[in-house]
Copies of this chain bind each other. A is one copy, B any other.
Amino acid sequence: MDATELARLCKALGDPTRARVFLFLCQCCAQVALDDDGGARPADGPTVGEVCCHITGSPQPSSNLSFHLKELREAGLVTTERRGQRVVCRIDRATLARLAETFAAAQSCCGPDPERTNR
């Protein structure tokens, strides 16, 4: 990943509210639901209102959260999908994977030893 894209993604995560949303969606994403035929699938993400409830504590949806979700969506970190009246949110796994790989590569690039043993 080049610096421009890294900056774009990190800028989206560089706000406390958005970082909370991101980590919350990662948690939700781990939950598993069962299909009608009994097959396991990733659970649907939380609705915007549920995210709002988790972040702000108040059940009423806020324009502020909508703004932050838009930032995350436009950065490619989050996808949203309308389900009737509600809109469910999910982590974009592909983007997250690229981000994780970028930092893993940066880390291995720096070598295995966190302490300078010589000199």
Contacts and interface: CB of A to CB of B under 8 A. Distances in A.
A39 B118 contact: yes
A28 B62 CA distance: 45
Contact of A15 (B7, B18, B111): B7
Given A13-B14, A19-B3, A94-B114, A103 B106 contact: no
Given A10-B13, A23-B6, A29 B109 contact: yes
Interface residue SS majority, chain A? helix
Contacts of A41: 116-119
How many copies of this chain sit in the oligomeric assembly?
2
A93 B18 CA distance: 25
Interface of A: 2-4, 6-7, 10-16, 18-20, 22-23, 26-27, 29-30, 32, 35, 39-42, 91, 93-94, 96-97, 99-100, 103-104, 106-107, 109-111, 113-114, 116-119
Nearest to A90: B110
